Chains A and B, each alone.
Chain A
């Protein structure tokens, strides 16, 4: 295909797509107008019914909890997929990457990065725990807090050596945390069935709105999701780092 023909095909497609887009935009509801009853109904009843001050969390972890379970398992499947694709294959041996310029010494991590990284580590982990634990009270929750917690592992890598990260990252424990986080969600759902209700029914005492221990199963589900997401992201980051920093070569198969 010549460049001019390609440009003509693109222009024709752009005109058609642009026209359709404009046509669709004219049919959108007016700016700031909310149509549909569910948002208003939930805003009115969620705090009274579920004692969760974060109505978004009440929707994602209670009213539509099954949806969120699917979301959690999407991430779980993605992490397992990456781990399987990037696994060490039979006959591959690990070796440090070749030095591109052996005579030139690469600058090490600067002291500023080291100090800043280590100083941030504590606050970041604490903030991650806070975001996970307060998911039902304020914006945040297991997904966001989990990624924050995993950033802690990244800070260890940035401010130290990859070897340090390998030492502070017990793979068996992380694997266990990831799978128990994923399984925990289902277990909390089965709690509803055991109590004679439906799957993921909020059967625990609801408490007072605004209290840390309130909203029944929501904090527990957030904890399970936070565990799964944090462990999943740590695994993901280490798989990629392993690929980049430790070269695997097909060795002699003996």
Chain B
């Protein structure tokens, strides 16, 4: 069991670092989604299934979705503005 906990801790550390090191916002949203999933697995390993479910629904689904939709809107706006300027 200790081995599993250590592995999960290392995964969480690697995931968090990956989110920080990803520079492109769109890629970052996808990486953050994976990170949310890893956090959910960590909560499950530490026997908090209730929190794990909340973490997966919010961290792996809702948050990345909002970021991606907001990015799409920002890009559409930026594209429109470039056209107007030309």
Contact = CB atoms under 8 A, between A and B. Distances in A.
A143 B58 CA distance: 10
A247 B73 CA distance: 9
Interface in B42-86: 49-50, 52-54, 57-58, 61-62, 65-66, 69-70, 72-73, 76, 79-80, 83
Interface residues of A, number: 24
A244 B50 contact: no
Contacts of B50: 54, 56-57, 139-141, 144
A30 interface: no
Contacts of B53: 131, 139-140, 144
Given A54-B50, A147-B62, A233-B62, A244 B57 contact: no
A237 B76 CA distance: 18
B66 A240 contact: yes
Contacts of A140: 50, 53
Q: Which of the listed residues B49, B66, B69 has the most CB atoms from chain A within 10 Å of its own CB?
A: B69
Q: Is the interface of A mostly helix, strand, loop or mixed?
A: helix
A244 B54 contact: no
B57 to A, nearest CB: 4
Given A56-B50, A139-B50, A148-B57, A244 B76 contact: yes
A103 interface: no
A97 interface: yes
Contact of B57 (A144, A154, A243): A144
A98 interface: yes
A147 B58 contact: yes
Contacts of A148: 57
B61 A243 contact: no
Given A57-B50, A144-B53, A237-B65, 13 more contacts: A56-B50, A97-B76, A139-B50, A139-B53, A140-B50, A141-B50, A144-B50, A147-B61, A148-B57, A233-B62, A243-B69, A244-B73, A244-B76
**List of 4 A-B pairs having minimum Cβ-Cβ separation, nearest first:** A139-B49, A147-B57, A240-B69, A144-B53
Interface of A: 54, 56-57, 97-98, 100, 131, 139-141, 143-144, 147-148, 151, 154, 233, 236-237, 240-241, 243-244, 247
7 contacts: A98-B83, A140-B53, A147-B62, A240-B73, A241-B69, A244-B76, A247-B80
